Amino acid sequence: MQTEPIRNKRHIRDMAAYYVKKGMLRNHLLIVFGVYTGLRIGDMLRLTRGDVYDFGSGRFRTHLRITEKKTGKQKSVALNKKVISALALTFGKDRGHPADFLFQAQRKTRAAIGRTQAWRIVKEAARAVGVAGCIGCHSLRKTFGYHAWKAGVAAVLLMDIYNHSSFEITRRYLGISQDDRDKVYLELALM
């Protein structure tokens, strides 16, 4: 079964807040980072603190520059205020070391969490706040596109952001439902 975007914004907020309440700030960051950057989980798990924080200037970076593992393409992702706030909350006063993974398993091992652990984090938060459907790590990426599209971002721009080779792939990511189609028919006002 294919993962779905998280369509309800309250669910997204509740999923992120779930981990703040539990004091699990890395997990909170995973949710926030995923829904606001639209990156694949494999690319997220490779990120280091140095990728998002300039240790020389003592500031969070405005853009994340990565080479996507799947496509080999370079990408620049603007980090918005929500992501910067989640990073600041997670880092606290201890900025760590530039080589520390952003989603580190344990400080002692200096290894990133694995894809399975990331899936568990997303799944647990979704279950805890009552999100129905097939939700996993890829749901975060799809959620980014779905809500951008609902806010009026052109599908062709999302196709470019996602580095998709066809619009059909982007269309599937957007999770366009019958309710979305019905809304077009019922709310179009031409006269």
Catalytic (active-site) positions: 40, 70, 138, 141, 164, 173
- CA-CA-CA-CA torsion for 75, 120, 33, 65, nearest 10 degrees? -20
Task: Tell me how crowded residue 113 is: count the other CB atoms within 10 A of its CB.
Answer: 22
Give the integer Cα–Cα distance in Å for 130 and 109: 34
Q: What is the DSSP string of 19-71?
A: HHHTT-HHHHHHHHHHHHH---HHHHHT-BHHHHEETTTTEE-SEEEEE-TTT
Find the helix or strand (DSSP H, E) in which 77 lies: strand 74-78
